[in-house]
């Protein structure tokens, strides 16, 4: 699943996942944390790429809620974000994010992170 308030970034990441051979099934999309949690209630998800700065529910709160959810806490979550504040990045990693890629990113950077995550 790709969680980002930008449809442009969701399209780019979807393309990267297909190129990397990761997106073998349906790639679900969500534009904020609330939508992502709604998807998780009905769909089985194997990997989440999530932005941090989003309206309604940001990526840190989403990450916290997923890690509290027994059903989904083991799903790897890679943060893909413009956020460069080290404190926020460290917070995400301490909460259990599997990795972090900063925007702007190249497809290779995403693929490299994914190899370590899945």
Partner 1 sequence: MRLGNEEIVSMVREATDSVFGTMLNLAVTPVTPHQEPVHPSTYDGVVALVGVAGYLTGTGRISCSPEFACQMAGALLMSEFNEVDEDVMDAVAEVANMVIGNVKTLLEERGGPLALSIPTVIFGRSYKTRSAGVMEWTVVPFKCGEETLEVRFNVMETPKVVHPMLTLEHLHM
Q: Which string of x and - marks every residue 72-101 that binds partner 1 (by CB under 8 A)?
A: ----------xxxx-x--------------
Quote the CA–CA distance of 52 and 13 in Å, as a whole number: 15
**Which 3 state secondary structure label does DSSP give 60?**
helix
Q: How far is CA 74 from CA 6, 9, 67, in A?
A: 26, 24, 8
Quote the CA–CA distance of 58 and 21 in Å, as a whole number: 28
Considering only residues 10-29, where is the footprint of partner 1 by CB under 8 A? 11-12, 15
Q: Quick one: which of 1, 2, 3, 9 contacts partner 1 (CB under 8 A)? A: 9
Q: How far is the CB of 39 from partner 1 (least distance, A)?
A: 20
Binding site for partner 1 (CB under 8 A): 5-9, 11-12, 15, 53, 55, 82-85, 87, 103-106
């Amino acid at each position: 699943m790709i969680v980002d308030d930008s449809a442009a970034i969701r399209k780019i990441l979807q393309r990267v996942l297909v190129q990397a051979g990761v997106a073998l099934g349906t790639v679900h999309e969500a534009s904020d944390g609330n939508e992502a949690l709604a998807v998780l209630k009905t769909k089985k998800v194997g990997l989440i790429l999530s932005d941090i700065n989003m309206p309604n529910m940001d990526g840190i709160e989403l990450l916290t809620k997923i890690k509290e959810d027994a059903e989904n806490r083991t799903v790897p979550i890679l943060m893909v974000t413009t956020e460069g504040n080290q404190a926020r990045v460290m917070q995400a990693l301490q909460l259990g994010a599997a990795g972090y890629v900063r925007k702007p990113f190249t497809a290779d950077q995403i693929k490299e992170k994914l190899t370590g995550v899945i």
